[in-house]
Structure 1
Amino acid sequence: MLLLAGRSAPDAAIQEGRDWPHYGGSTENHYSPLTEINDRTVSGLGLAWFKDINDGGSALSAPVAVDGVLYYASGSSFVRAVEAATGRELWTFDAQAWKTAGRKLRAAWGIRGLAYDNGKIFVGTIDGKLTALDAKTGKPAWSVMTVGADDERYISGAPWVFKGKVIIGHGGADFAPIRGYVTAYDQATGRQLWRFYTVPGDPAKGFENKAMAMAAKSWTGEWWKYGGGGTVWNAMAYDPKYNRIYIGIGNGSPWNRKIRSPGGGDNLFLCSIVALDADTGEYVWHYQTNPGESWDYNSAMDIELADLKIDGHVREVIMHAPKNGFFYVLDRKTGKLISAQNIVPVNWAKRIDVATGRPVENPEARYPGGKPAIVYPSPFGAHNIEAMSFNPATGLVYIPTMDQGRVYVDPEGGLKDWKHLDGQRLSVGTGAPPPGVVPDRPATSFLLAWNPATQKEAWRVPMPGIRGGGGTATTAGNLLFQGNAGGRFVAYAATSGKPLWSFDAQTAVMAQPIVYRANGREYVSVIAGARFASATGLPREWNYRTQQWRLLTFALGGKAKLPPANDEQPPVLDDPAFTVDPAKAKAGALIFGQRCSICHGAGAVSGGAAPDLLQSPIPMDHDSFTAVLRDGMLMERGMPRFEELDDQHIGALQHYLRQRAREVLAAQAAGRPGASTHRGLNEGQ
């Protein structure tokens, strides 16, 4: 059974699947009831049109399509409307978020999704604004700042719309002491209607409601000084039957519970799904996937709604695959656990106890007493932001899945002296692994078809690389669409996983596709572009300077062609007259790891999300490097300003980059791979 989302009385276009008005489609499940493109006709699918994206920054966004118009976002500021049948541009809106984002730009995430309702396009931007645009003209109807100007909260996720309201959360808990919340606004005016905090604040200041008073009993110490975390930076779902909005809540700030809540406790509502009354924002129920979490196992992944036949009875359920490696089926009315089963091998817990709803944990996974622990999954999670989808005809959920571990250990300086470090890329409260302590199996990724009613695997398809599968969309035509890190956009048979059609996108395709109709014809659209910070060991490595981000649109009989691919890797540059000082290079390595690796890659070898600095002449000239780093010359392109870096810091970075350039050049000359394949942590937000 389909559960139509976003409106209490869906119109015919949504009912029939002609429009894809929200992040998850006409339902919350990334599913289309359209059948013109199906398992028999998909071989005739071709590129109908494409548009290059040259706005800088990330474009890992899900478009929306309404009444023959396709709307899409790119970078940290841009929204465009085009004719869905032709790609002809109708309007462009530039939020100019870089002017007000400040340090928020350092989070490096672009706009991930839009929402349409009642003639408006809703978009959140990195500076924390929520803006309503007139869908016909692109002119702002209103814009509100949803966060504090200097609190380092930012928006990367899609808004959710329902009953004349629009709700938005935010990110930021991995970078600063943040307390999470979601806020609902009136669609017509932008007036704030209600706000729900996800973790309790300072008890001395009182609690906003009974839910916060209840949650505070599950925290210890002075957690509010660390913010607590619990940001709602990705998935939500609206349930019209119960008039509820379900929010998926993130990890703790810092990750390590021994710091933020030293006496233990569940730390509500971290890593939970919380059901709120859609009209008032009042707490209804919660289910916590990781009580007292310490691994960044947030529950910000898809929340999908369905009616499932389980043990002979039809149940109204929520389906959820958070980072922690388990697939959960919950009762939508009560929030009670129906079943849970791991989709990858995990070792942080033996199982989820159905009677209590709680995990049966492995105590060693909490890295007690400063002892390191190899824990599965890693902070990337078994499932991250790449959208899963549910097909009611097959009864299967399709999950972009990863199997990889991470070494967790307390920070080297100890728990007592730990603090958020100025400019640090992640403030997690964990330390570097001791030498020689590494995960005991290679990291892999795959597309998983999972039966939520039986909690069993139906089939799987291996993916290239350690995070190789993009977001998914499935249709009533027995199709599943998914891109991958190797540069292919593929249509699979939804029942079997058999590949039926593929397209060379000339770059990674990690965003989720959408399926819709325009002018009586069915289309599939997806944004293509590599969003990897570091080199990944793929058969084709992507380069920011030579790859091309694009919006691709397909239809039966499409005849468009992409320009020839440019797989050239620009050379690594060096200045033989530059003498590297090892001490300065060591200091520069720390600065790079704290501030630069999130975009430019671990070991200063980029995977395509940003320019490879070893191939750039800018770091070789002190004045040019200063203009970019300290003066913010490229902020409009999404390059943040680091005003705290003085000449000594910038010089240290120059020494580090020249040292790395020579190491890579030496490795290339010897026929060895020069790129580090280690990827930065927490690319999920």
Structure 2
Amino acid sequence: MMGAGKARFRKFSIAAATALLLCTAQAVADVDNATLGNEADGTDWGAFGRTFSEQRFSPLDQINKQTVPKLGLAWSLDLPDVWNVSSAPVEVDGVIYIAVGFSVIYAVDAVSGKQLWSYDPKVDPVKMRMAWGIRGLSFWKGKVIAGVQDGRLFALDAKSGKLLWETLTTEPGDNRYITGAPRVFNGKVIIGHGGADFGHVRGYVTAYDAETGKQDWRWYIVPGDPAKGFENKAMEMAAKTWNGQWWKFGGGGTAWNAMTYDPELNRVYIGTGNGGPWNAKLRSPGGGDNLFLCSVVALDADTGEYVWHYQTAPGESWDFNSTMDMVLATINIDGKPRKVILHAPKNGFFYVLDRETGKLISAEKLGKVTWAKGIDMATGRPIEEPGVRYEDGEALMWPGSGGLHNWQPMSFSPDTGLTYIPAHELAGYYNDKGFDPKTYDMDRDGSMGIHAFFDDVPKSAGSSSLLAWNPATQKKAWEIPLPGATNGGVMSTHGGLVFQGQSDGKFVARDDSTGAVLWSADMGVGTQAPPITYSVGGKQYVSILAGWAGGQMLLGSLSAQHGWVGRNHPRRLLTYALGGTATLPPSPPSAQPVPVDDAAFKVDPALAEKGKVLYQHCLICHGTAVVAGGFAPDLRASAIPLSAEAFAAVVKNGGLQSKGMPPFAELSDEDLTALRHYIRQQARYKPSAWDQIKTAWHFICLMIKMKLMALGWIKP
């Protein structure tokens, strides 16, 4: 009897302990409004921007200015079957969750680095062509929620990785795709999409029930065909700012990245994208602001009803997305605390908006901005320079379509009052000579409405920096030049540190007051991804994904300058802690591709010219002018295009689909031949000094012309 009693007691104790552990875990894993609204508790990093504010600031300070020299690698996890890790992790209850590549989800023990489970949603091969990859995921009450490039939204059980629900947020066969992280609030999950650069897309955002995946509400960003009526008064109002038959092109306005929930006002702010096509002269002949392109729009979080908007680029014609971070903060302005939105869209200005009314408080240039003199505070509109709408057929200006700030997230520190921005400087060249609104056909003439750019982009064409900006005074506190043209997202902490992964393969911690480097580590490869920090068992950790893909990988030599090659160099999750002693796995040295050739191959100039146009299918992955930026193999250095049979097997028949190369079954044998001739031509091309001088002189003359127009000495 005594033994049986002990056995029963032992069974009861185990059951009770198990139940207690499960309850404890569930309590922590129940990420909800209270959790995401808690700025003071830095234990977990439960959302893309950590909390609803999207400040990407952690109150943890175990790792600080004094202790950071002791920071070391705790563990690393290589992800050999993933092509793109430009993504933000989340961490909940000692588990890191990442969405990488085409939304493959991994759950990883945050202390040991052991993989717990993975889930692959198996993306539609056709949607592989928009090869940006996923940039983040969400967590809500024990569920991991993420979007897929082919338009699906799904939820997984966080403990097992089991699929709980899945829904299609787009329409079958359309040009929409998902690359951004969903946001969750009030039991709803909201997601937008991209696609305005690829034709016939009307942007929208949709809210779904986080428990079931059932659609709750949808809000369109631009108006549709007026003959079919309007979904709401906001669309009726917006239609008055358009001209022509814009709905035939879709209009654009896709919300592919930033969406911020405001728990104080129960609103969600949507950052909207560029027009479709980019060229406003074709999209909306006769002018108009084209609402709600390139705007911050406030919606009621429960109903999706329009509240207010602020447009950063009226009648946009430059791909000046406002889909970059929208950070919530309370800052002192004129001696009074103001609830504001901090916003640095592509166009080069830093905006401070009143989040209750949408009223512009201030706006200033962050760096080199030549398309506008400033922002008129009376109207909130940019004061455009003459000629920037390429009225005479072309324009060169700063920034270009890559923006002064892109999707890589910035961070706001309430300790310093500074915003830390991964900034870059790169010009934009726009040319629409020969396009006519009366004859423009989006399918035939290209979805952007401007001429494609076929030349390589030299590594000297752009630069980057980490910029510390004071939003209260609209002045720069400090700025540090960075390697290359684009670097990773930023995180700041109560420890007085700013963390950032760089394109040269360094992970760096800087003093938040001065920008001085206090610590750095080699990641073995560059990155675009932002870091996170969290605490497990009273110990603070810092994690980051490293791998060369995403961002501006299509810019030829500008992107390729670091010598990273996506399939050769690692994609990995790295985690650091004080006293960490793990050894970084070896990584191949950086190297530039060496073109291969077949002397017997005779290039036909006419076929090569046709292939140059067809190559627009390829440049997102393989780089402009066939100079790969490190994202996918450099076709000049690949033996596959040397063989007609091998080239057809890969390009047309999908022979490397498992490696992320989608099939292009619609290409004819003649198309494939033309592509091979263009690739061979580029493999043999060596620009002469005279070629470079002519190109540089063309741009210099264009800038002089625009300056003279700005001075009023000549007319556009």
Q: TM-score, normalised by structure 1?
A: 0.92
Query: Which is worse superposed, 400-409 or 470-479?
Result: 400-409
1:65 corresponds in structure 2 to 91
The structure whose Rg is larger is 2
Tell me which of 18, 41, 45 is aligned to 1:20.
45
Structure 2: how far apart are the matches of 1:565 and 1:124? Answer: 31
1:497 aligns with 2:515: yes
1:447 corresponds in structure 2 to 466
Tell me which of 68, 85, 92 is aligned to 1:42.
68
Structure 2: how far apart are the matches of 1:79 and 1:433? Answer: 36
1:680 corresponds in structure 2 to none
1:23 maps to amino acid: F
1:433: how far off? 7.7
1:8 corresponds in structure 2 to 33
8 Å contact from structure 1 (residues 411, 432) kept in 2: no
Tell me which of 466, 473, 483 is aligned to 2:485.
466
8 Å contact from structure 1 (residues 412, 432) kept in 2: no
> In percent, how many aligned pairs have the same letter?
54
1:191 corresponds in structure 2 to 214
What pairs up with 1:363-442 in 2 under 5 angstroms? 363-368=386-391, 370-421=392-443, 427-431=447-451, 442=461
1:140 aligns with 2:140: no
Structure 1: how far apart are the matches of 2:116 and 2:32? Answer: 26
Distance 1:462 1:372, change over 3 A: same
1:654 aligns with 2:672: no
8 Å contact from structure 1 (residues 516, 523) kept in 2: yes
1:478 aligns with 2:501: no
2:299 corresponds in structure 1 to 276
2:575 corresponds in structure 1 to 553
8 Å contact from structure 2 (residues 393, 433) kept in 1: no
SS in 1 for 2:268: strand
* Deviation readout 1:412-453 (Å, 9 max, x if unpaired): 34343322236x9x7211235899xx99x9532111000000
1:513 aligns with 2:547: no
2:599 maps to amino acid: P
Q: Which runs of 5+ in 2 are unaligned?
A: 1-29, 697-716
8 Å contact from structure 1 (residues 6, 22) kept in 2: no
8 Å contact from structure 1 (residues 85, 519) kept in 2: no
Structure 1: how far apart are the matches of 2:246 and 2:75? Answer: 52
Distance 1:539 1:111, change over 3 A: closer
Tell me which of 110, 113, 118 is aligned to 2:136.
113
8 Å contact from structure 2 (residues 559, 630) kept in 1: no
2:314 maps to amino acid: P
1:230 maps to amino acid: G
Structure 2: how far apart are the matches of 1:412 and 1:321? Answer: 34
Distance 1:337 1:487, change over 3 A: same
8 Å contact from structure 2 (residues 526, 548) kept in 1: yes
Query: Which is worse superposed, 600-609 or 141-150?
Result: 600-609
Structure 1: how far apart are the matches of 2:679 and 2:319? Answer: 30
2:62 maps to amino acid: E
8 Å contact from structure 2 (residues 198, 447) kept in 1: yes
Structure 1: how far apart are the matches of 2:408 and 2:471? Answer: 18
Tell me which of 80, 93, 105 is aligned to 2:106.
80
* Deviation readout 1:557-587 (Å, 9 max, x if unpaired): 1111223331255543222232222222222
1:51 aligns with 2:77: yes
1:259 corresponds in structure 2 to 282
1:207 corresponds in structure 2 to 230
2:24 corresponds in structure 1 to none
2:293 maps to amino acid: L
Query: Which is worse superposed, 196-205 or 547-556?
Result: 547-556
1:603: how far off? 1.9
1:246: how far off? 0.5
1:85: how far off? 0.7
1:53 maps to amino acid: L
Distance 1:573 1:483, change over 3 A: same
Structure 1: how far apart are the matches of 2:202 and 2:561? Answer: 41
Name the Cα RMSD after superposition. 2.4
Structure 1: how far apart are the matches of 2:585 and 2:49? Answer: 31
Structure 2: how far apart are the matches of 1:118 and 1:101? Answer: 32
Distance 1:6 1:66, change over 3 A: closer
Structure 2: how far apart are the matches of 1:515 and 1:500? Answer: 17
Structure 1: how far apart are the matches of 2:246 and 2:559? Answer: 40
1:640 corresponds in structure 2 to 662
2:708 corresponds in structure 1 to none
* Deviation readout 1:485-512 (Å, 9 max, x if unpaired): 1111110001110110111112112111
What pairs up with 1:570-649 in 2 under 5 angstroms? 571-592=594-615, 594-649=616-671
Tell me which of 219, 224, 231 is aligned to 2:242.
219
SS in 1 for 2:576: strand
8 Å contact from structure 1 (residues 372, 433) kept in 2: no
SS in 1 for 2:684: helix
SS in 2 for 1:9: helix
Structure 2: how far apart are the matches of 1:274 and 1:58? Answer: 30
Query: Which is worse superposed, 121-130 or 630-639?
Result: 630-639
Q: TM-score, normalised by structure 2?
A: 0.88
1:600 maps to amino acid: H
SS in 1 for 2:670: helix
8 Å contact from structure 1 (residues 272, 287) kept in 2: yes
2:199 maps to amino acid: A
Structure 2: how far apart are the matches of 1:74 and 1:265? Answer: 39
8 Å contact from structure 2 (residues 610, 674) kept in 1: yes
8 Å contact from structure 2 (residues 544, 575) kept in 1: yes
1:361: how far off? 1.7
1:356 aligns with 2:368: no
Structure 2: how far apart are the matches of 1:412 and 1:609? Answer: 33
1:93 corresponds in structure 2 to 119
1:248 corresponds in structure 2 to 271
Structure 2: how far apart are the matches of 1:432 and 1:255? Answer: 12
1:194: how far off? 0.2
1:637: how far off? 2.7
Distance 1:173 1:525, change over 3 A: same
Structure 2: how far apart are the matches of 1:371 and 1:264? Answer: 16
Tell me which of 308, 311, 318 is aligned to 2:334.
311
2:94 maps to amino acid: G
Structure 2: how far apart are the matches of 1:650 and 1:11? Answer: 51
2:22 corresponds in structure 1 to none
Structure 2: how far apart are the matches of 1:659 and 1:409? Answer: 25
1:471: how far off? 0.5
Which structure: greater helix fraction?
2
**Count of matched residue positions in the alignment of Structure 1 and Structure 2:** 656
SS in 1 for 2:77: strand
8 Å contact from structure 2 (residues 90, 137) kept in 1: yes
1:400: how far off? 0.8
* Deviation readout 1:228-278 (Å, 9 max, x if unpaired): 000000011010000011010001001111111101111000000101111
Q: Which runs of 5+ in 1 are unaligned?
A: 678-685
SS in 1 for 2:648: helix
Structure 1: how far apart are the matches of 2:523 and 2:398? Answer: 32
8 Å contact from structure 2 (residues 94, 110) kept in 1: yes
